[in-house]
Amino acid sequence: MYLRKTILATGVALSALSAASFAHAEPTAEVLHWWTSGGEAKAVAALKEDFEAKGGKWVDSPVAGGAGDAAMTVLRSRVLSGDAPAAVQLKGPAIQEWAEQGALTNLNDVAEAEGWDDVIPPAIQDVMKYDGDYVAVPVNIHRVDWIWANPTLLAKVGADSVPTTWDEFNTLADKLQAAGITPVAHGGQPWQDATIFETVVLGLGGPEFYQKALVDLDEDALKSDTMKAVFDQMRKIRGYVDSDFSGRDWNLATAMVMNGDAAMQIMGDWAKGEFLAAGKVPGKDFLCAPTPSDHGYLFNTDSFAMFNVSGDDKVEGQKLLAELIVGEKFQETFNLLKGSIPARLGVPMDKFDDCAKKSEADLKAAQDAGGFLPSMAHGMALRGHLSGAIIDVVTAHFNSDMTSDEAVSRLVEAIDLAKD
Amino acid sequence: MGASQSTESNLTAGIQRHLSKIVVAPSFAASLFFVYGFILWTGYMAFSKSRMLPVWDWAGLRQYERLWQMERWHVAIENLFIFGGLFIVACLVIGCLLAVLLDQRIRAEGVLRTIFLYPMALSFIVTGTVWKWLLNPGLGLESAMHDLGWTSFKFDWLINSDMAIYTVVIAAVWQASGFVMAMFLAALRGVDQDIIRAAYMDGASLPRIYFGIIIPSIRPVFLSAIVVLAHLAVKSFDLVIALTGGGPGYSSDLPATFMYTMAFQRNQLGVGAASAMMMLATVMAIIVPYLYSELRGGKKNG
């Protein structure tokens, strides 16, 4: 008993001693994230290695489960008890929400030293900044508006490429269906329904309409005939999916395209990871092409928000981490592992696959054309309660026989209700 | 020496006298704080303007108004009545029937009883996942029937917005009816055999004996079973998550899944708290009359 106490006391004293002596020497950062499996876990490990190579001490706080819900619950309690982690995996307008609570720290000095304003695309800067100050750092750009297609199945109905207008899409899908092939692989989960929905909004309405309807929530745009046409198209697509789609996970839908059970899937470029992991070659075994739109590009960017921490070692660690994350080396390693493209310009793309190269080229074109827009379905465009209200209506329409008129009026009602 | 011994024995006696209170005190304090304290806190949150973080600003009944204006909440409440009603009735009927059949002193009763009771030992997540596979038209029952040659067979409730909630009923009844059976069986065994024999002597038929004598005499078990089943129904969460994920769309949402979505996924703590209070009110509406009758009954006996 006494012996154990003595050992304990010595241990505590020793660790206190070591903590004191290294406090200034070792920049420390606690990182809260939910990248705990597959390529994502490898990507985080790469960041950790970099950070430790620069003499930092990495405190890993992974919270798995519920696509980040569990991590957010942990974050709330940590912030409320005044012990926030240094960096938290957060994205989209949620960053602004935390900044409004005064919980985020200012990264402007790092940003200036590193010249972030020149290398990060302006639309992504907007997401990372609160009141003009950097409070978060982007790690990647996922493109959401992709069609993943099986070329063998397309060839069966005489098509050699992915359609470039929604009319062509419907014609092709009808042909496929007539040939006994499931045209669209889809998983009936609300976010997947919403993913298709937003690509249709972008395609039928154009980038300007997308901005008005799903970013600014302009009531005229939401009530417009264009929006009704969008819901009509959604009803069409509902007819193109197989009968077992309910509740199917997205990667199982991707597997359907891979195995020749369905011709196309509309999904972000995380689907590419499934193809590559199965040893498939882009352009040969599968096709990647943007969903029909006029130089539109919907982005989904993961980022780390930097919370207020006290203590020199922690502040130093946080700055070092921010610098490394935006740095070219990390952006390259991370995105090669995760299947996305770097969130900064000037990273050499030669190690990336053809789909990623296309994504990068399209990004530049979309930026010039004003079509580089945040994804609504993936929490980049709107705060959770607003996008949630839209997704509810989209998924209720997709999974029932609701008319487009009713869907539009419900959409306006739901947004009004969520707004106040 | 003698003095210290007597102090010690005094102490021991004191501890023994208060032992039950000392043992119960920590769990009493813990449940007072973690259960009732947090109920009060949630009650307050439902009146606050909380969204992402809990705040104390008073919002009056605004969160309840917003809750009742939400289409999704109405779906959840409607589903609760469909699910709760069918679940309770089906479990009682099936449980009672199984118990009566098992009560006929049949062979291998022990084995059958275990088989029927076993589903209760599974977690709802397991039940939900297994039934998801069974009911999936492309994987389970429907495809099995098609393979056997019955190609017109159609059973697609799982992916049908109007019918999805009934699949939750099927899975929940499968899980809980064995438990209800066990409750009834125990009660049936407790019925005085002399009365039954007397009824036989008078020439009453077997159904007559069951409906006229045995079932009325085990009425209290019905009440207990209903209370157990009702609270299972109100707090149902994992079964829905595993079986349908609340879908298609949100057509099989229940209040518990609605609350989780609002409070933990949409930064709507206020609305989430309001829906939690509505669930509490539903449970209270069932439990309070039960407790009242129980406590009053206890007084009469005492």
**Per-residue pLDDT tens over the stretch A80-137:** 888 889 999 998 898 998 998 888 999 999 999 989 999 999 999 999 999 999 999 9
**CB contact residues (below 8 A), chain A span 351-410, against chain B:** 383-385, 388, 392, 395-400, 410
**Given CB atoms, is B244 within the 8 Å cutoff of chain A?**
yes
CB A75 within 8 A of CB A293: no
Q: SS3 letters for chain B?
A: CHHHHHHHHHHHHHHHHHHHHHHHHHHHHHHHHHHHHHHHHHHHHCCECCCCCCCCCECCCHHHHHHHHCHHHHHHHHHHHHHHHHHHHHHHHHHHHHHHHHCCCCCCHHHHHHHHHHHHHCCHHHHHHHHHHHHCCCCCHHHHHHHCCCCCCCCCHHHCCCCHHHHHHHHHHHHHHHHHHHHHHHHHHHCCHHHHHHHHHCCCCHHHHHHHHHHHHCHHHHHHHHHHHHHHHHCCCHHHHHHCCCCCCCCCCCHHHHHHHHHHHCCCHHHHHHHHHHHHHHHHHHHHHHHHHHHHHHHHHC
In chain A, the residue whose alpha carbon lies closest to the alpha carbon of B66 is A417
Name the most confidently modeled range: A194-208, A301-315, A333-347, B60-74.
Answer: A194-208
Domain that holds residue A200: 145-299+377-419
Number of domains chain A is built from: 2
Greater confidence (B265 vs A305) lies with A305
Residues A291, A319: one domain? no
Query: What average pLDDT does this structure show over A227-253?
Result: 90
Burial label for B287, CB within 10 Å (0-12, 13-18, 19+), is: middle
Q: Is residue A1 part of a domain?
A: no
Q: What is the domain-level CATH number for residue A311?
A: 3.40.190.10
Closest partner CB to B247 (pick from A73, A101, A399): A399
Are A224 and A331 in a shared domain? no
Q: Give ∠ CA B165-B169-B174 in degrees, rounded to 5.
A: 150
pLDDT given at position A10: 47
Touching check for A333 and chain B: CB below 8 Å? no
Q: Is the interface score ipTM higher than 0.90?
A: no
User: Considering only A1-15, A147-161, A241-255, B166-180, which range has the smallest mean pLDDT?
Assistant: A1-15
pLDDT-based confidence at residue B266 (cuts at 50, 70, 90): confident
Contact of A414 with chain B, judged by CB distance below 8 Å, is answered with yes
B88-128: per-residue pLDDT in tens? 999 999 999 998 888 887 888 888 888 888 888 888 899 99
Topology of the domain comprising B63-301: MetI-like fold (1.10.3720)
Domain spans of chain B? 1-45, 63-301
**DSSP 8-state symbol, A188:** B
B248 touches chain A (CB under 8 A): yes
How far apart are alpha carbons A256 and A260 in whole angstroms? 6
Cα separation values, B27 from B16, B34, B35, Å: 19, 10, 11
Domain assignment of residue A22, yes or no: no
Record: contact B264-A66, CB cut-off 8 A: yes
Is A196 in the same domain as A307? no
Least confident of A22-26, A394-398, B215-219: A22-26
Residue of A nearest to B138 (CA): A244
Asked whether residue A261 falls in the same domain as residue A137, the answer is no
Confidence of residue B5 (pLDDT cuts 50, 70, 90): low
Least confident piece of the model among A3-17, A159-173, A178-192, A293-307: A3-17
Residue among A94, A246, A398 whose CB faces B158 most closely = A246
pLDDT band, residue A17 (cuts 50/70/90): very low
Determine, for residues A385 and B247 on separate chains, whether the beta-carbon distance falls below 8 Å: no
DSSP A60-100: EEE--SGGGHHHHHHHHHHHHTT---SEEEE-TTHHHHHHH
pLDDT classification of A7: cutoffs 50, 70, 90: very low
pLDDT higher at A17 or B128: B128
pLDDT at A12: 45
Of A98, A242, A247, the CB nearest to B247: A247
Instruction: Give the separation between CA A12 and CA B37, rounded to whole angstroms.
Output: 35
Same domain, A412 and A265: yes
pLDDT given for residue B113 in this prediction: 86
| Assigned domain for A10 exists | no
Mutate to test the interface with A, among B264, B269, B271, B275 (most CBs of A within 10 A): B264
Residues A71 and A115 in one domain: yes
pTM of the model: 0.83
Tell whether A258 and A327 lie within a shared domain.
Answer: no
Model confidence at A179, in pLDDT bands (50, 70, 90)?
very high
In a domain, A21, yes or no: no
pLDDT of residue A128: 93
- Say whether B72 and A80 touch across the interface (CB within 8 A): no
Q: From the CB of residue B14, how many other CB atoms can be counted at a distance below 10 Å?
A: 10
A178 and A264 share one domain: yes
pLDDT tier at A189, thresholds 50, 70, 90? confident
DSSP state of A104: B
Put simply, the answer to whether A79 touches B53 (Cβ < 8 Å) is yes
The gap from C-alpha B67 to its chain's centroid, in whole angstroms, comes to 24
In angstroms, what separates the C-alpha of A248 from chain B's closest C-alpha? 10
